[in-house]
Amino acid sequence: MPQNPEGLNLSSPAEYVIDGNAVNKLLEPYNLEAFQPTSQLHQMLPGQVFDAIEKKFVKGLMDEIDKSKSQIVRFVNLEAIATGPHRDYLYAICGGLRVLIDALSAKGIAVTGTVPTPYALPWNLVSKIDPNFKGLPAPGETVPP
């Protein structure tokens, strides 16, 4: 599969693939470090992270998708974000991806993907990506097949 300069896969001219591992790698330049009360450096609050994600990261992804003229954006392996180096900001990152999905939908670009372990990510992101997502099980229930 050919790759673009940012490391996201272009599986075909009409499809743009966003991989969770690539998202982790693309977030490295933002120096997202969790707030540490004892540390004087790299203290970012979740709101600041969401701002950076929405204004820079999502805008950059949207520009890249526009350049590729893709008709479909497929999300894969997003669970890697929950276990990656920026997991402290999972909700801010997923919120940014949700903003991206809403912008793509507004432009008429289809969004698809599967999330094998939906409980690892916020349900409102999973519900936008995976058409087979039926919700999370209640406490004590088993995961539906």
- For 96-124, the pLDDT digits (tens) are 999 999 999 999 999 999 898 888 999 99
The pLDDT tens digits of the residues spanning 52-68 come to 899 999 999 999 999 99
- pLDDT tier for residue 134 given thresholds of 50, 70 and 90: confident
Confidence of residue 125 (pLDDT cuts 50, 70, 90): very high
- Residue 132, Cβ density class (10 Å: 0-12 exposed, 13-18 middle, ≥19 buried): exposed
Query: For residue 14, is pLDDT > 50?
Result: yes
Confidence band for 1, pLDDT divided at 50, 70 and 90: very low
Q: Classify residue 137 by its DSSP letter.
A: P
The mean predicted confidence, pLDDT, of the chain is: 83
| Tokens 């909700």 belong to residue | 91
Where along the chain do its domains lie? 15-129
**What are all long-range contacts of 37-42, with beta carbons under 8 Å and residues at least 24 apart?**
none
CA angle 133, 95, 129 (to 5 degrees): 25
The per-residue b/e assignment along 17-52, b for 16 or more CB within 10 angstroms, e otherwise, is bbbbebbbbbbeeeebbeeeeeeeeeebeeeebbeb
* Angle between the N-to-C axes of helices 58-68 and 90-106, in degrees from 0 to 180, rounded to the nearest 10: 40
Q: Is 112 helix (H, G, I), strand (E, B) or coil?
A: strand
